[in-house]
Amino acid sequence: MGRSRLAPAHDGFARKLATMAFDSVRGRSVLFGGYDGSSLGETWEWDGTIWTRRTSAPPGCAGCAMAFDAIRGRAVLFGAAETWEWDGSIWRKRTPPASVPPARLDHAMAFDSVRGAVVLFGGYARSTRLQDTWERTRGTWAGRSPAGAKPSGRQFHAMTYDQSRGRVVLFGGDAHLSDYLQDTWEWDGAAWTERMPTGTRPRPRRSHAMAYDAGRSRVVLFGGIGRSVLRDTWEWDGSAWTDRTPAGPNPSARQGHAMAYDAGRGCVVLFGGRTAGDEELLFQDAWEWCDGTWSDRTPSGTSPPARWGGAMAYDPLVRRVVLFGGSGPLADTWEWDGSGWIDRTPSGTGPPARTRHGLVFDETTRTSVLFGGMGEAPNTLLGDTWEREASPARQPALTFEASALGAGVADISGLRVRAFCGGVHSPYGASDTGATLLGWSTRGPGPAGVGWVRLATAVAGLAPAPARLPDASTALLDWSAPSAEDAMRFVSERDRRLAFQCRPAGPSGSGEAQVALDYVEVRVRYRTTVQGGG
């Protein structure tokens, strides 16, 4: 096939570093930009015979990239950190959402357990109080742009997830210098709704803390700073705020403290904070709100250093409240077991020191998720995400899942799990055998709350041959839910799935642990609404 040289559109058409793409829908080659001594912002089309100049909108660009999206019928141009689309008539600027939240501090985070999403709102960055909403689902951040009203830009606000109503609850914050807020908002995964409760409500404030008390189905709020540093306790039931400040003992007035709900023990845990003024005082006391009463639980032994601006979350895998970082800034990790603090600061890699960050437990990834804050260098904002998987027992585990989802499935009335599993562990250097079957409890309240629950234990070890198979004579683990309510506790509200694990019966300590699984059977009994079903 021969080649033909075609005349240019006009004498000024010569250029270099232009970009082209073929529009297969319209049968045109589209050319944009280039360089002839300056960057050009011209759009031309070639129909096989002549060049035609078209309307231009993007700024001049040399060395940009362009490709044709055949599914959407658009030429997509990228250059100078901007994205544009050409539909054959006009250019439209597109702003793709960022893949992660921009660096910030003083934001608020909560975990939506029904939707399986970490929710982040607001914060402070570059002299701006932010108004954006982000969600992190199975390890991936995505910006949300809900239609309608939403909370104003703010920092030092507080959020928690109301498990009984399936809403993230936000209260208060700092809108501008000393412009403190007292508004209540709820996020349902699609839109923000401002709640207008009648009666009294907490006074305007910032730097307060909130946690959801699953045992009493109430959001608990404590302290903060308004016209003065506060020490009041409030509860939100989904329609009204109630002042629950007790006449008896309660934490002293403070701001910048951290709170989390200990689902295993049914208590809200509070730690640290600070006063205000020239003689600022940092706290290192621990308090618990149990059944509507505050108790000073500060242990006589070791406690984390005094601080404000730390963050806490309850980890159901270890059944402890986890504390990270705070003023200093600090990079330490501590766990609270209800009677004392345990220093869990890793000797290896961990998040850099920070304060005024966010921390929640993600039930889908089964990790504590940390984001943002202020770093060690002055005025350094952080935009990093870290996950912590607690495994103090150092146990290997085999996890298997089953689905309880089916057409017309209504109530689940029964659950039985059978597994042939064996394990070896060496807690003190002497080998021991045995395996444990666990199930992931998806909801509280209850003795287990959210987390792995021990269902059955066997004394099976590993057979010498075939390699890594359980000792068949003792390996059967067989468990049945005693009631329909107990069965439903292991079914995820979000996707109707169940998760189980086989682990060695004891911790490995400094020795080696192994686990093997040969056979799994999960039986779900349910009522169906499909005609002819039983």
CB 222 within 8 A of CB 257: yes
**Residue 533 has what pLDDT?**
42
How far is 45 from 9, CA to CA, in rounded Å?
A: 10
CB neighbour burial string for 407-432, b if at least 16 within 10 angstroms, e if fewer: eebeebeebebbbbbbbbbbbeeeeb
- What is the pTM (predicted TM-score) of this model? 0.64
* CB neighbours of residue 73 within 10 Å: 14
Q: Name the β-bridge partners of 144.
A: 133
How far is 187 from 146, CA to CA, in rounded Å?
A: 10
180, containing H or E segment: strand 179-187
- List the structure tokens of 409: 């499935």
**Residue 524 has what pLDDT?**
87
Name all contacts of 288-296 with Cβ < 8 Å and 24+ positions apart.
288/262, 289/213, 289/220, 289/222, 289/233, 290/265, 290/266, 291/215, 291/216, 291/266, 292/216, 292/244, 292/246, 293/246, 293/248, 294/233, 294/246, 294/248, 294/249, 294/250, 294/251, 295/249, 296/249
**Residue 534 has what pLDDT?**
39
* CB neighbours of residue 476 within 10 Å: 15
**What is the sign of the dihedral through the CA atoms of 250, 256, 257 and 258?**
positive
Tell me which amino acid residue 503 is.
R
How far is 384 from 105, CA to CA, in rounded Å?
A: 11
**What is the sign of the dihedral through the CA atoms of 442, 445, 451 and 454?**
negative
- List the structure tokens of 402: 């089953």
295, containing H or E segment: strand 293-296
Mean pLDDT by 10 residues, the chain (534 residues): 57 79 92 87 91 84 85 83 86 78 96 95 94 94 94 98 96 90 97 95 98 96 96 97 94 98 95 87 97 96 96 89 96 95 86 96 90 89 88 67 64 87 66 83 60 84 69 83 88 80 71 79 78 46
**Residue 433 has what pLDDT?**
81
How far is 14 from 451, CA to CA, in rounded Å?
A: 68
